[in-house]
Amino acid sequence: MSWLDIVIFLVLGIGLLVGAKRGFVRQVFGLVGLLIAIALGYSFMEGVGGWLENKVGLPVEYSPLAGFGLVFLGAQLFFMIITRGVDRFIRNIVFIGTINRILGGAFGVVTACLALSLVLYVLASVGLPPSEVRGDSALYEVVYQFFPQTWSLATAQFPELAELSERFNTGL
C-alpha cells in the first residue's frame, strides 16, 4: 500500500464519518437543493438581473451574475430550512434514524470519492502526483475514473445535463 492509497483511504473515511453524522436525508436534500438552486439561478438570472438593473442601478455586465447569485442564495436558504425540519423529524424516529446514519455514511463515501476524483483530475493536469506514485497505488485509477464515469452515466440518462454543461463551457 502506497502513501497515496493511505491518503485516499483517509479521505474516504472522513467522508464516511461526516456522512454518518449528517445522515442520508440531510445529504440528499442538500444535494437536491444545490442542484435545484443552480438550475433556478441559471433559469432566472437574466430576469432577476434585469430587475436589479432597473431597481438598483446595477451595471448591465454584472446583472446576470448578481441575478444568479440572488436566486441561488434564496433557493439554498429555502432548501436549508426544509432540510433541517425533515432531518429533525427523522432523527427522532429511532429505527429510521439509525438507517439514516448508515445510508448517510455510504452516501458520504460516494460524495468524497466524487470530490477526490475531481481533485485528482485537476492535479493530474499538472503532473501530480508523479506517474510512478500513481502506478504504485492500488486505488488511484479507480478513484480517478469515478467522476468521469459518473458524469458519462448521468449525461446518458439526462441529456439536459450535457446541454447545460455545454452552455456553461461556451459562456453564460
3 state SS of 170? coil
What are the residue ranges of helices labelled H in 24-62? 24-56
Percent of the chain scored above 90 by pLDDT? 60
Task: Tell me what the mean pLDDT of segment 50-59 comes to.
Answer: 92
Instruction: Please tell me the predicted confidence (pLDDT) of residue 169.
Output: 62
Q: Which residue has the higher pLDDT, 87 or 82?
A: 82
Q: Which residue has the cell 436549508?
A: 80
pLDDT at 108 over 80: yes
- Cis omega before residue 59 (within 30°)? no
pLDDT at 34: 87
Q: What is the mean pLDDT of the chain?
A: 90
What band does 144 get if pLDDT is binned at 50, 70 and 90?
Answer: very high
pTM of the model as a whole = 0.74
